[in-house]
A = this chain, B = another copy of it.
Amino acid sequence: MSIREVARQSGVSVSTVSRVFNGYDDVSAATRERVLETARQLDYVPTAAARTLVKRRSQLLGVVLFTGYWHPDIHHPFFQEVLVGLKHGVGELGYDLLLFATEQPDGRRPDPYLRRARQHRVDGIVLMGLEPRDPEVQKIVDSPIPVMGVDLDITGNRTSFVSSDNVGGARLAVRHLHSLGHTRIATISGPLRTKPGADRSLGYRAEMRALGLDAPAEHEVEGDFYTESGEEAMRSLLSPRERPTAVFAASDLMALGAIKAAQAAKLRVPEDIAVVGFDDIQLAEHVSPSLTTIRQDKVGIGLAAGKALVEQIENPNVTPPVLTLPVELVVRASCGGRAAAD
């Protein structure tokens, strides 16, 4: 089952077998066939470990996906789809994914990610779901291993990131609301320390300004992307006497919470207050009223991240570009307008 055995049985040297399996062309068609045939008979499979040892690369991409599973709302569907995209993206290029399972229930990570990555000699790392200022992130970025962030703005020598066009999406959302006649438009932003949170907030403000609308400070409240924070935020948005007639929530989950809070306050959505979300998670179309939202191409993000990472691995000299994927407005029922009839 080792290359040695194949060599013996086909009457050639070890190096020749190796050459055959690596597709070198300096081996005659006849020997190639003979080697391939005996390999097939012996059911020979090359050992990755040995190859990794000598080539100093593993054809493996490390994935650190921070999913605190104790978080009640962890089921954030975003990363699942990104992962699917990632998988398909790198699969075609001959890489497999190494999912680091080094996270403890209490959030401690006993064996730092970077250490595991080096241990396995992964050729690249994908970072998702962790806090931008996690010290471990910085260590990884500073390492010589190529890194791609997903919704995590890191840059460096061999590192870059991919995310949706968050500011564009936010602008799209408020523009839509405005086109429906709203002028008092509030926002429930994501955590401003995260890239998507900050950018969507930026986009909101930019578009409000561009439209000549007033965006007083009390019309922007910060959530954490999850449902409850949306509920809470909406309550505080509703308290002033001049309440907004529309709100742009920086995530669908928060939009949901917002709608719930509005309904609890006896307001009708969208008649009394319009809501638009961000993400287009599966929920969005099934919920009632169905959610108008900004759709992110989640699979596409994974795909892009994978391909870009491999690109960076195989061309270490070119500095990797920051990738921004387009988003799309999906009009449903939660803000009335032309879809109100649905």
Mark A residues whose CB is within 8 Å of B.
45-50, 52-53, 58, 60, 63, 65, 67, 69, 74-75, 77, 79-81, 83-88, 90-92, 95-105, 115-116, 118-121, 256, 282-283, 286-288, 299
Contacts and interface: CB of A to CB of B under 8 A. Distances in A.
B53 A50 contact: yes
Contact of A46 (B46, B65, B83, B119): B119
Identical copies in the complex: 2
A103 B91 contact: yes
Contacts of A88: 69, 101, 103, 105
A196 to B, nearest CB: 19
Contacts of A288: 287-288
A107 to B, nearest CB: 11
A116 B97 CA distance: 12
27 contacts: A45-B119, A47-B119, A47-B121, A49-B49, A49-B50, A49-B58, A49-B121, A63-B99, A69-B88, A75-B77, A75-B81, A86-B101, A91-B104, A95-B101, A96-B99, A96-B100, A96-B102, A96-B116, A96-B120, A97-B98, A97-B99, A282-B283, A283-B286, A286-B287, A287-B287, A287-B288, A288-B288
A286 B46 CA distance: 50
A87 B58 contact: no
Nearest to A298: B75
A341 to B, nearest CB: 15
Contacts of A77: 75, 77, 80, 282
Given A99-B99, A116-B96, A121 B48 contact: yes
Contact of A53 (B47, B83, B119): B47
A91 to B, nearest CB: 3
A49 B52 contact: yes
A97 B48 CA distance: 16
Nearest to A52: B49
Contact of A118 (B45, B50, B97, B104): B45
Given A45-B119, A53-B47, A97 B91 contact: no
Contacts of A282: 75, 77, 282-283
Contacts of A104: 91-92
Nearest to A96: B101
A273 B326 CA distance: 42
Contact of A101 (B45, B75, B91, B115): B91
